[in-house]
Amino acid sequence: MTQADDSRRRSRRLTWLFRTAAVFALAMAVWGFVWEPSRLVERDHVLTLPRWPQACDGLRVDVVSDTHTGSPNNGLDRLDRWVRHLAESDADLVLMAGDYVILSVFLGEYIPAGTIAEHLKPLTARKPVYAVLGNHDWWKDGELVSRAFASVGVAMVDNRAVRVDVRGCRFWIAGLGDLLEGHPDIEGTFATIGDDAPVLALTHEPDLLPRIPPRVALTVAGHTHGGQIDLWPFRHQPSPFVHGSHRLKWHVVDGERHLFVTPGIGTSILPVRFGVPPEISRLTLRSASPTP
């Protein structure tokens, strides 16, 4: 083989490698910027909780967060889609953990809270919905967002506790303000809980977890979007709590405290999701206590 033949072979090999890499990069870009952000999965999570009573064993709770209506591939049609799924679900109630609007996102469009609220009516007509605000909501006038949602039947529980009775299961939902912008009043909120019934805490920012009273059976949060990119997306066991992490998702344990972080539906900053599809988290709460 002549030197010229060897040079042509190397050139063809490099050309093939370049083309393969380009096709792979294009496929990953289409996946992360178009296909996956357009998906909507309903993922079941069974959580066994030490402080959850037998009387409430099997309670079904749907959780959504970071819906960011107006982000790319996430307009009013997507809003109607997840509202329909929640309304038709067999869950007993819905928890919404904040960030319903967007401050800004590349190629996104701001949609007012009042418009979003109108599209929630089919859901609030079917089942109880409890919600807190996130940092984006506060940046776009949190009081306005709260009033708009409350006007269509959403129970806004920022820094207040409400008693819930579902099919004989009696517990409290303690809503806590966003850690970044909502001035969480933990002491004041829990001071209004007058009995020893179990408590579900609802907040936006997971970093509030170390300050949550140990009596809480489960804290539900959002904010992280699961990192939006996860190259190793499959995990079946509870993960440890990491302060300041933007990759927390699903069941997280910190000592005796249990946290659930939903990966959310919309996007923020960059309109990309890879390995973290938009998710409605469907929780089944199980009691770790033995059956009497």
pLDDT of residue 37: 75
Question: Which band of pLDDT confidence, cut at 50, 70 and 90, is reported for residue 20?
Answer: low
Contacts of 44 (CB under 8 A, 6+ apart): 282, 284
Question: Which band of pLDDT confidence, cut at 50, 70 and 90, is reported for residue 158?
Answer: very high
Give the Å distances, CA to CA, from 133 to 69, 75, 100, 225. 14, 20, 8, 15
Architecture in CATH for domain 39-287? 4-Layer Sandwich (3.60)
How far is 61 from 95, CA to CA, in rounded Å? 7
Smallest CA-to-CA distance from 82 within 278, 223, 271 is with 278
Average pLDDT for 184-196:
95
- Average per-residue pLDDT for the chain: 88
pLDDT digit string, tens, across residues 67-81: 999 988 899 999 999
pLDDT of residue 113: 96
Secondary structure element (H or E) that encloses residue 252, with its range: strand 250-254
pTM of the predicted model, to two decimals? 0.89
Taking the alpha carbons of 74, 80, 85, 86 in that order, is the dihedral positive or negative? positive
Cross-sheet strand order for the sheet of 239-240: 160-166, 169-175, 199-202, 218-221, 257-261, 250-254, 239-240
Secondary structure element (H or E) that encloses residue 27, with its range: helix 3-30
Strand, coil or helix: 156: strand
Give the Å distances, CA to CA, from 138 to 229, 240, 248. 25, 29, 22
pLDDT digit string, tens, across residues 103-152: 877 778 899 999 999 999 999 999 999 999 999 999 999 999 999 999 99
Planar angle of CA 134, 135, 137, nearest 5 degrees: 70
Give the gyration radius of the chain's Cα atoms: 22
Domain boundaries defined on the chain = 39-287
What does DSSP assign to residue 290?
A: P
